[in-house]
Structure 1
Amino acid sequence: MHVIQRPILFALFALLFMGLAFSAPAHAERIKDMGQFQGLRANQLTGYGIVVGLAGTGDDSLDYSTLGMKGAVSRFGLTLPPGVNPALKNAAAVMITAELPPFAKPGQRLDITVSAIGKAKSLRGGTLVLAPLYGADGQIYAMAQGNLVIGGLGVDAADGSKLTVNVPSSGRIAAGATVERAVDTGFATSDWLTFNLHQFDATNAKRVTDAINAAIPGSASMIDGASIAIRTAGNGDERMRLMSRIENLTVTRAEPPAKVIVNARTGTVVINGAVRVGTAAVSHGKLTVSVKESPMVVQPAPFSRGETAIEPSSEIEVAEDYRPAFLIEPNASLSQLVDSINRLGVPPGDLVAILEALSQAGALTAELVII
């Protein structure tokens, strides 16, 4: 029976993984995952409404709620007496938001989000009174109404203590709005379709254009590094079939630009795989200064008129860790750069300083972005 030694076994596994890495083909992505067709976008809707039926958790006396309630009851021919405040505690003024998807037709339902704009403590158990939802052009595109579902909870005790779980002043109504007007996208009248990439990249735009022309010769041309124009004709059925065919074509995405992203608030550092580092020697020291306070109590002599006093005693220590410089090989890859930095064992703040120094020295072939 032959026994393979552990170092040899590890070497065999390493060779196997290297072979798989080099033999694996480049990953191809669908065109639909790289962008979207122009005009096929969602539209935001907003509205103002009143939520009623609250168990004393509504607005105290918000004028907007009072006016809204008076407007709601006026639809039924009712006029409230002067001085009556129907919005007190049992109703709340809210803002309503929704997203109108492309090609939404009258009669289809939308999910809506309802959020209090006043001092309402909770919208739990409330009902949204019929309210219009407006688009950016000021036109009504949907009507909203329904019972709210609240994921939060708020409780007040008699002694003033409070307990709040999540956000009880905001909720959702599933299928709470009905579409009343469709948005004209001009989809069926234009002679061209425009495909916009999510990110500007001339290489990706060229590859997408080449893939479309390979499937449909002479139909696509680049407008710029983010948009491709596609010639089309026929009715809506033919256009949708053409779009479906284009979306499912595969393209090998180009390698992204080399970037190092640093989040200055959280200390997060992200380095993409295109980053390369030239020949450089890096040395990073750690200086630690500690101040130890040991105050001493001094007692006066017996039968003297002295007073007890505190005598300060401070001890300052300075320690500097010795960390030898290490050499980064020419055109080091991301893994080699990470391995080199890990040898130093530096925190994110010091890592940013090292990357900035490498960039200033011209050894870092990447854009350093601070967010």
Structure 2
Amino acid sequence: MPLAAPVAAQAGARVKDIVDVENVRPNQLVGYGLVVGLPGTGDRTNNAPFTEESLQAMLERMGVNVRDAKMKPQNVAAVSVTATMPAFARAGSTIDVQVSALGDATSLQGGTLLVSSLRALDGEIYAVAQGPVAVSGFKAQGAGASVSRGVSTSARIAGGAIIEREVPYALRSATSLKLALKNPDLATARHIAAAVNGLYAGTASVLDPGTVQLTPGAGYRGNIVDLLGDVENLPVSVDQAARIVINEASGTVVMSADVRISPVAIAQGGLTISVSETPVASQPAPLSQGQTAVLPRTRVAVDDGGNASLAMVEGASLRSLVAGLNTLGVSPRDLITILQAIKTAGALQAEIAVQ
């Protein structure tokens, strides 16, 4: 699996794409409910007694006395109901909900969620959900075989919850705002502040690598929404630390363009890799009034038993090393092992994140 060329670190982006605004965030909601109308794929009350208790409580609230009845329905499933309420969501608007089985139901296909309240961490009800569930997976089985695809005990209801309570936040009356970088970096924070101050001098200041504070000037005092609207579309250059992300399960390796390696030699199985520096002096031509300069020369040699080698100049980069390994057909698993070994030896100038 060849490794794609890394993207340059100094990439351009809009401010709105790389920051979050203080207190402008979604809120997580959770609730409990019953899905009814299942074709015999619901909870078995012997294993999930809370389903029967919930059903009895619901019927009693509707005026039906079933306390002395022995209910053994298999068309009802107890479920958790979760949703994310976006920032500035208004009462009466709808949001999607996720429904997941809590008991031993085998499928939610064909069911309908009965009205369920959704609460936030403060215990208050912010939305009410109800409606037919949509399951993407399925499961079918017979006496001697079964087949399944996806997850049939998890479903969604598009627009299934109505917001009943709003989260109060007066953005317009704020006297200042903090922009939180999604990927904290001091250079990027300084670029944001410079871009904003280039448009409105003295408006932005860097508090730390992850925070830029906006203080509106006289023209925007009391109307910070307009300031934020003008700032969020400003283009800035985004910097990033040298990093390699490795997914061992799939053998995927992703790296930034600034990853560098120091002189090092590695032997793995029948493969030997060496990186060496041999700087040379460059003399100016006679009577040119030039100066003697030292030019870097880097050589990466890869020996797989066939005397294959790759020569490079102008500094050693991991990109060049990986390109040479790809040419030799090194497997992703071996590549991951090599990168980890280089990092352990202290020759890899980058952070490695293993997933």
TMscore range, shorter length: 0.7 to 0.9
Aligned counterpart in structure 2 of residue 204 of structure 1, from 188, 198, 214? 188
C-alpha distance in structure 2 between counterparts of 1:121 and 1:98, whole Å: 23
Aligned-pair CA distance for 1:49: 0.1
Q: What is the SS of the residue equivalent to 2:41?
A: coil
1:266 to partner: Cα distance: 3.7
Q: How does 1:212-231 map to 2 (within 5 A)?
A: 212-231=196-215
Structure 1 position 52 matched with structure 2 position 36: yes
Q: Which has the higher helix share?
A: 1
Structure-to-structure mapping, 1:89-128, within 5 angstroms: 89-128=74-113
Structure 1 residues 343 and 151: CA distance shift in structure 2, 3 A: closer
Provide, for residues 172-204 of structure 1, a one-character-per-residue CA deviation record: whole Å limited to 9, x for no partner.
111111101111235244311111111110000
Of 258, 283, 287, which aligns to 1:274?
Answer: 258
**Structure 1, unpaired ranges of 5+:** 1-23, 288-319
Hey, what's the Cα distance between the residues in 1 that align with 2:173 and 2:333? Answer: 55
Q: Residue 25 of structure 2 contacts residue 87 of structure 2 at CA under 8 Å; is this kept in 1?
A: yes
Q: Which residue type is aligned with residue 64 of structure 2?
A: L
Q: Distance in 2 between matches of 1:146 and 1:220?
A: 47
Alignment of 1:292-303 (within 5 A): none
What residue identity is the alignment partner of 1:278? S
Say if 2:63 is the partner of 1:77.
yes
Q: Which residue of 1 aligns with 2:51?
A: 65
2:26 aligns with: 42
Shift of 1:95: 0.6
Hey, what's the Cα distance between the residues in 2 that align with 1:163 and 1:128? 26
1:85-123, CA deviations, whole angstroms, 9 ceiling, x for partnerless residues?
Answer: 1x6201110110111000011111111111111111121
Who is 1:295 aligned against? none
Map of 1:257 onto structure 2: 241
Q: Given residue 135 of structure 2, which amino acid in structure 1 is its aligned partner?
A: I
Cα gap change, 1:203 to 1:30, in 2 (>3 Å): same
Q: Is 2:332 aligned against 1:332?
A: no
- TM-score scaled by structure 2? 0.79
Q: Tell me how far 1:243 sits from its aligned partner.
A: 1.3
Amino acid at match of 1:131: S
Per the alignment, residue 141 of structure 1 pairs with: 126
1:129 is paired with a residue whose SS is strand
Partner of 1:248: helix, strand, or coil?
A: coil
Asked whether the 8 Å contact 1:284–1:323 carries over to 2, the reply is no
CA distance, structure 2, for counterparts of residue 284 and residue 168 of structure 1: 45
SS of 2:152's partner is coil
Count of equivalent residues: 310
Unpaired runs of 5+ residues, structure 2, are: 1-7, 272-302
Task: String of CA shifts for 1:269-295, please: whole Å, max 9, x gaps.
Answer: 3232101233445555429xxxxxxxx
CA contact (8 A) 1:213 1:220 kept: yes
* Identity, % of aligned positions: 36
Tell me which residue corresponds to 2:175. 191
CA pair 269-153 structure 1, distance change in 2 beyond 3 A? closer
Change (3 A) 1:112 1:343: closer
Tell me, in whole angstroms, the C-alpha distance in 2 between the residues paired with 1:343 and 1:248.
42
Does structure 2 retain, via aligned residues, the 8 Å contact 1:278–1:329?
A: no
Q: How far apart are the structure 2 equivalents of 1:221 and 1:129?
A: 51
Conservation of the 8 A alpha-carbon contact between 1:39 and 1:187: no
Query: Does 2:131 align with 1:163?
Result: no
Deviation of the 1:217 alpha carbon = 1.4
Note the alpha carbon deviations across 1:248-282, whole angstroms, 9 max, x for none.
0111222x222233334443332321012334455
1:121-146 deviations in whole A, cap 9, x for unaligned? 12122111111001011111001111
Q: How far apart are 1:321 and its partner, in Å?
A: 6.3
Deviations, residues 36-59 of structure 1 (Å, cap 9, x unaligned): 211111111110001111121111
> Which whole-Å deviations, capped at 9, do the CAs of 1:51-73 have from their partners, x for residues lacking one?
11112111111211111111211
Indicate the structure whose relative CO is greater, using CA pairs within 8 Å and at least 6 residues apart.
Answer: 2
Quickly say closer, same or farther: Cα 1:280–1:76, change in 2 above 3 A: closer
Name the CA shift for 1:355/1:330 in 2 (closer, same or farther; >3 Å).
farther
Shift of 1:209: 0.5
Conserved in 1, the CA contact under 8 Å of 2:37 and 2:76? yes
The 2-side partners of 1:368 and 1:124 are apart by 43
CA drift at 1:28: 2.5
Shift of 1:357: 4.4
1:152 paired to 2:118: no
CA distance in structure 2 between the aligned counterparts of 1:165 and 1:262, rounded to whole angstroms: 28
Shift of 1:231: 1.3
Q: Please, what TM-score do these two structures have when normalized by structure 1?
A: 0.76
How far apart, CA to CA, are the structure 2 residues paired with 1:333 and 1:321?
20
Q: Secondary structure at the match of 2:208?
A: coil
Shift of 1:27: 4.6
